[in-house]
Chains A and B, each alone.
Chain A
């Protein structure tokens, strides 16, 4: 990772004056989202980008292999812009690479949903074939959230974040279309594809409960006037999800009880393995470039 600076950071002197973690003005007449909030968005993108990239060279069909590689590139591109923004606001020696490669598991603020492997419920050290229905269902549940989040953040008075949101929304719409199309194909497909799609929905749906319990960072972003109240998106998310599940002849499971806490830094055992792979090279050769 290197080089592209967030637009807005055109004039670096303005950026550098934004205090760490603060919601102080980052540009004239504008407000800044808290750094922890930007990291939450960035970590979501990088973790799902890394996870989906596991299909590279292993896709169920060539077209989907390429599609998942491209979706991952979008996510990693979004993560880079967000990490660059966070690093600029943190100042000092913060860089996008340090934020992506040199923070540990408990410092990551991504949803637990995004770190789970591409298969049903298994302990972290178990080996299993990847299941594309799991990939598609996760991309759908998260994609339906992110079109709404970016749509709202595009109007954020934090001009830097709004600029990233405007680009990400264009990409998120294609991600959601892609996932929704495959969800319908799987659900309303053969007996086996239907059964596997329903199993993936049953497995992953409970993890979406985390979307609707705001973290301190999310609350702070709303208080600063720069974030989005996630609970206000729930009805629209329900509409997208219910409509598509119904078209896919799949049943939405009843969810209650456990609420995952990945965005608070309390993760499943799977994130460590993912980060081990993602961060290993950068940590073995600190400062390496190519």
Chain B
């Protein structure tokens, strides 16, 4: 890794998700890549959900951190490969849990859409982030944001968010 690339990574290391301030953009897989090109340094970010209102803030945060570090770099939003919750590191998943959000399960391997619908599999058991019980039920498939579902723990009775596999 070249010095300038390392500097960019270092200057962005502290940036966290605007809605989940306990995990960094890098841990979430939103901050994808830093490369040196003949035209200068490029920082690649990728959106989570297409309509995620946090993406504008994230891009501003990245530019702001680069400015603050005095680094001239282009910020590029790239869609492919599509962001997936499988990119969230294990450490970050544990931070989510401690924060009160049940972390996402690994996405299921692709099955045909028809099969996906007709044999709707029982969802993986979602463990309560507070007490660890898997005696939980879904209250709503869309929680406080599109990326989360709302669950309720039947043992400790607390509601909680589940970060859905994407």
Q: Give chain A's interface residues, CB within 8 Å of chain B.
A: 2-8, 10, 63-64, 66-67, 70-78, 80-81, 144, 147-148, 151, 159, 162-164, 166-168, 170-171, 173-174, 176-178, 180-181, 236, 239-240, 243-244
What are 17 residue pairs bridging A and B, where the CB atoms are less than 8 Å apart in the complex?
Answer: A4-B56, A5-B77, A7-B46, A7-B79, A71-B146, A74-B50, A74-B146, A75-B51, A78-B51, A81-B50, A163-B79, A167-B49, A170-B82, A173-B116, A174-B164, A239-B118, A240-B117
Verify A10–B50 contact, CB threshold 8 A: no
Verify A70–B145 contact, CB threshold 8 A: yes
Verify A4–B55 contact, CB threshold 8 A: yes
Given known contacts A66-B144, A73-B49, A163 and B80 CB-to-CB distance under 8 angstroms: yes
16 additional contacts (CB under 8 A) given A163-B82, A167-B83, A243-B118: A4-B77, A6-B79, A7-B76, A10-B78, A63-B140, A67-B142, A70-B142, A74-B50, A78-B51, A162-B80, A167-B79, A170-B84, A170-B166, A171-B146, A178-B142, A180-B120
* CB proximity of B136 to chain A, nearest CB, Å: 16
The residues of B that contact A78 with a CB separation of less than 8 Å are: 50-51
- Chain A residue nearest in CB terms to B77: A4
- Chain B residue nearest in CB terms to A240: B117
The residues of B that contact A243 with a CB separation of less than 8 Å are: 117-118
- Chain B residue nearest in CB terms to A150: B113
The residues of A that contact B113 with a CB separation of less than 8 Å are: 147-148, 151, 173, 236, 240
- Chain B residue nearest in CB terms to A146: B113
* CB proximity of A273 to chain B, nearest CB, Å: 23
Q: Is B1 an interface residue (CB 8 A)?
A: no
- Chain A residue nearest in CB terms to B55: A4
Q: Is B141 an interface residue (CB 8 A)?
A: yes
Q: Is B139 an interface residue (CB 8 A)?
A: yes
Verify A4–B117 contact, CB threshold 8 A: no
The residues of B that contact A181 with a CB separation of less than 8 Å are: 141
Q: Give chain B's interface residues, CB within 8 Å of chain A.
A: 46-47, 49-53, 55-56, 59, 76-84, 112-114, 116-118, 120, 139-146, 150, 164, 166
* CB proximity of A42 to chain B, nearest CB, Å: 12
Given known contacts A163-B82, A168-B50, A240-B114, A64 and B140 CB-to-CB distance under 8 angstroms: yes
Q: In the bound complex, what is the Cα–Cα distance between A10 and B74 (angstroms)?
A: 11
- Chain A residue nearest in CB terms to B147: A70
User: Which label, helix, strand, loop or mixed, suits the secondary structure of the B interface?
Assistant: loop
* CB proximity of A27 to chain B, nearest CB, Å: 12
Q: In the bound complex, what is the Cα–Cα distance between A7 and B112 (angstroms)?
A: 26
- Chain B residue nearest in CB terms to A144: B117
Indicate which residue in A7, A144, A164, A166 contacts B77 across the interface (CB closer than 8 Å): A7
The residues of A that contact B142 with a CB separation of less than 8 Å are: 63, 66-67, 70-71, 174, 178
* CB proximity of B119 to chain A, nearest CB, Å: 10
The residues of B that contact A80 with a CB separation of less than 8 Å are: 50-51
Verify B50–A66 contact, CB threshold 8 A: no
The residues of B that contact A71 with a CB separation of less than 8 Å are: 142, 146
6 closest residue pairs by CB, A with B: A77-B51, A77-B50, A73-B51, A7-B79, A63-B140, A67-B142
Verify A8–B117 contact, CB threshold 8 A: no
Verify A244–B117 contact, CB threshold 8 A: yes
Q: Which of B46, B83, B120, B141 has the most CB of A within 10 A?
A: B141
Q: In the bound complex, what is the Cα–Cα distance between A62 and B116 (angstroms)?
A: 28
- Chain A residue nearest in CB terms to B52: A77
Given known contacts A10-B76, A77-B51, A70 and B146 CB-to-CB distance under 8 angstroms: yes
Q: In the bound complex, what is the Cα–Cα distance between A10 and B79 (angstroms)?
A: 10
Q: In the bound complex, what is the Cα–Cα distance between A171 and B55 (angstroms)?
A: 16
Q: Which of B80, B150, B164 has the most CB of A within 10 A?
A: B80
Verify B117–A178 contact, CB threshold 8 A: no
The residues of A that contact B118 with a CB separation of less than 8 Å are: 239-240, 243
* CB proximity of A24 to chain B, nearest CB, Å: 21
Q: In the bound complex, what is the Cα–Cα distance between A176 and B59 (angstroms)?
A: 30
Q: In the bound complex, what is the Cα–Cα distance between A81 and B83 (angstroms)?
A: 15
The residues of A that contact B143 with a CB separation of less than 8 Å are: 66
Q: In the bound complex, what is the Cα–Cα distance between A238 and B118 (angstroms)?
A: 12
